[in-house]
Amino acid sequence: MPTKAYIAVYIGDPVDFTKYRHTALFFEFPSYSLLMHITGAQGFFEFQKQEDYDPRNSRKLASLIKVDDISDSFTPTSIESIVSTTPIRNGRADRDWNCHNWVGEALNRLIEAGSLEFSKREAAVDKMIDICMEARHEE
């Protein structure tokens, strides 16, 4: 059974602006699930993972976007290793960088590893951006 890859988009907190919408990667492996994301404020982002967490159970979930199925030739350990080592940009020159960028860059690393097609990544990221732009409190 292939691994299912998704982008989770959460409603912004404390207010629902585009820039406050949170994004993460969610993987459904045959035996468990894993959410991977960065948390914190600019300059203090940190990688976090949550095993056996299902974003569909969160009242803050705005959308769960299917990216693609990943071949069984990529183990959960290899997928986690690829995604978890995606660089986090906390420098002064990276003030506009956030979890949205990290998701895109992590998916790029999966493409480089041969586990994901570019067109699937592009379609999912485009949808992620659209959903982020639907923020309720946007001016």
- Give how far Cα 15 sits from Cα of 35, 39, 48, 83, Å: 23, 17, 23, 28
Kindly provide the residue ranges of all beta strands, DSSP E only, lying in the chain, ordered along the sequence.
3-10, 22-28, 33-39, 46-51, 61-70
72-114 pLDDT tens trace: 999 999 999 999 999 999 999 999 999 999 999 999 999 999 9
Cα within 13 Å of Cα(41), Cβ side: 1
Give the pLDDT confidence score for residue 13 in this predicted structure.
82
Give the pLDDT confidence score for residue 54 in this predicted structure.
95
Domains in the chain: boundaries: 3-134
Indicate the burial class of 99 (C-beta count within 10 angstroms; 0-12, 13-18, 19 or more).
buried
Q: State the amino acid at position 89 in one-letter form.
A: R
30-82 pLDDT tens trace: 999 999 999 999 999 999 999 999 999 999 999 999 999 999 999 999 999 99
